[in-house]
Each structure stands twice: as C-alpha cells, then as structure tokens.
C-alpha cells in the first residue's frame, strides 16, 4: 500500500506473523533505475517478501525484477490495480487493465529474467469495462501470452476518473462471487482475493472458494489481527506473542534505526493501532503522536507510551 507498507511497517508486521507473505508498497521502475535512494532496501527478517512494481515498459520491469531477485526478494508483483492520477499519468496501475496484451508482455519479460514467481494484482474491471467477459479476457491473455500463474484480485472495479484513490477503495461495490467464479473458470491458476476483508473468520470463508487472501487496510489499522494468522490460517503451533511482547521486541530495531538517522515517528506511525480495544489504547496513540516527532525522541517515548496500556501483560493479545 503506497506510503503505508514501508520497510519499518513490514519489520513490525513480521514480529506479529512469521508465515504471512508481506508486500512492499508499490515502487516504480523509474524510482529504482533513476532514483537517488535505495528503493529495494529491506531487512532480512521481513522474508517472505514480495516486491510490488509499478511500470509498463517490459524491458525496465525485467531489469528491476532481476535487481530484486539479486537482492533476495521472494516474489515480484505487478500492480495493475492502483487508480490514482499520478499512477495513470505514468502509464501503470489500473489503467493497464485496458491493455491486456501489454501486461502480458510485461509479465513474460519478467518471467524470462527471473526464476522467482511473478504475479499480478488487479481489479475486476475499470470504468465501463466491467463485464465478467472483460475480466476473463484479461486473465486469459495475461495467463496465456504472459504465462502468469497467480493473480490477486481486488473484488471492486476502479473508476479511472471521478473518484479519489480512497473512494475507489470504498465506493465501487465488492463482488466476491465474481472472483470465486474466476477460480472455477481458471482452476489451474492461483487466485487470491482482496478488498474489504476485516477478520480472519472472513478470510476463512474466502478460502473455501479461492487460494489466498490479501488483507490491506485492516491489517494496517488493526495490526493485532496478524498475531493470530499463523495459528488460525497456517496451522502453526508456535506460541503467539502478545502485543506488549511485540512492542518490546521492536526496541532493538528502533535503536538501530535511530542510530542510522531514522526519525522515531517514521517507525511509530505504523504501530499506533496495535492496542485496539484495550484499556489505555487512546493514551498509547496520543503519547506516540504527540512525542515521537520531537527532537531527540528515542525508544523511551515508546516505553512511556507502553506504560499507559493498563491491561496486564498476560492478558494482552
């Protein structure tokens, strides 16, 4: 998720779940090739990790996919679902749904360049091109000509004009049955569903029909939900860390990052929702929000915020 799932967020989420496949925020090929920063940076602890790319030039995508594979990423994902204006102006994201042949060429170029999986995240349609036949034609072209074997389907169409990115995540109605039908019609493909999933119980229901579930906003806003994923969805018998233990496990990372010049607020913005529904959660959020941006803010700010969470540690989950 653009501007959300950065490397600090992913490190934190990995403390909650060992099994979940984490995705980077979308990174454009132009940023990777021409940018001054290291847009492929991540911590080894984040694995398994997929790099989500934005772009429409097969050669540039293949080059970036190769760089990512060399850096150790576990999967490359092409974003064909983001509807924002700046994405459309760069000729990538959801507008590419209208150019299935080009998407297929992009996927094939990346598949020829790397040995790790190359996947597509897309919508069920765009603008008035929202029939099931249109979706099937897109999947058929990209899986056939492009040899793509896995699709993550956001079960909403995207309006390329007239709606903001936020509205595009909420206004177009969800159509889960259409994604279920897609799996029935393309049984050889791996199909994961995305959009509006708010609980692990809902994820379990979807898994009766498709192969995987991607959870975005809910996992970010209520990250504690990830603590149960390994046990509930992957059958892990490992002990579940409670939320206090997760925060304490984050301390060494915070100290390392601060020593390297990272601002505390760049890390703590991702952990604000951890104690949802627990006494002291509001004070936790307020203390971090008011103090993490201050000059010299360090791990003590987080320790002080944690002391405001009043529930006994043995009961925090």
* Residues flagged as binding site: 52, 121, 154, 194-196, 216-217
Which tokens belong to 81?
């679902």
Q: Bridge partners of 77?
A: 52, 119
Catalytic residue among 82, 95, 106, 148: 82
What DSSP assignment string belongs to 10-24?
A: HHHHHHH-SSSPEEP
- CA distance linking residue 215 with residue 193, whole number of Å: 9
Angle at 8 between CA 6 and CA 10, to 5 degrees: 70
Spatial neighbors of 224 by CB under 8 A, at least 6 apart, are 16, 243, 273, 274, 275, 276, 317
* Binding-site residues from annotation for FMN: 52, 121, 154, 194-196, 216-217
Residue with tokens 């507008």: 95
- CA distance linking residue 302 with residue 7, whole number of Å: 19
What's the Cα-to-Cα distance from 288 to each of 252, 265, 266, rounded to whole Å?
Answer: 18, 8, 11
Active site annotation includes 82: yes
Q: Would you please indicate which residues are annotated as catalytic (active-site) residues? A: 82
């Amino acid at each position: 998720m653009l501007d959300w799932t950065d490397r600090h967020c992913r490190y934190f989420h990995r403390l909650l779940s060992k099994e979940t496949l984490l995705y980077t925020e979308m990174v454009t090929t132009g940023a990777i090739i021409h940018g001054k920063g290291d847009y492929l940076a991540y911590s080894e602890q984040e694995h398994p990790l997929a790099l989500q790319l934005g772009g429409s030039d097969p050669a540039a995508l293949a080059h970036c996919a190769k760089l990512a594979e060399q850096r150790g990423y576990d999967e490359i994902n092409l974003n064909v679902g983001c509807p924002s204006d700046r994405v459309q102006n760069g000729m990538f994201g959801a507008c590419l749904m209208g150019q299935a042949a080009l998407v297929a060429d992009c996927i094939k170029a990346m598949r020829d360049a790397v040995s790790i999986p190359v996947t597509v995240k897309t919508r069920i349609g765009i603008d008035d091109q929202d029939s099931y036949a249109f979706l099937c034609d897109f999947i058929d072209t990209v899986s056939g000509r492009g040899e793509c074997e896995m699709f993550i389907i956001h079960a909403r169409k995207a309006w390329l004009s007239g709606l903001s990115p936020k509205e595009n995540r909420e206004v177009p109605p969800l159509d889960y049955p259409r994604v279920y039908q897609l799996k029935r019609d393309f049984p050889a493909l791996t199909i994961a569903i995305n959009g509006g999933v708010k609980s692990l119980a809902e994820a379990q229901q979807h898994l009766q029909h498709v192969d995987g579930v991607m959870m975005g906003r809910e996992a970010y806003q209520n990250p504690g939900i990830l603590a149960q994923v390994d046990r509930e969805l992957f059958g892990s018998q490992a002990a579940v860390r409670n939320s206090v233990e997760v925060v304490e496990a984050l301390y060494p990372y915070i100290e390392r990052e601060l020593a390297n010049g990272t601002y505390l607020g760049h890390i703590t913005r991702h952990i604000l929702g951890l104690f949802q529904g627990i006494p002291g959660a509001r004070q936790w959020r307020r203390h971090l929000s008011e103090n993490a941006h201050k000059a010299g803010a360090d791990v003590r700010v987080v320790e002080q915020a944690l002391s405001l969470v009043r529930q006994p540690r043995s009961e925090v989950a």
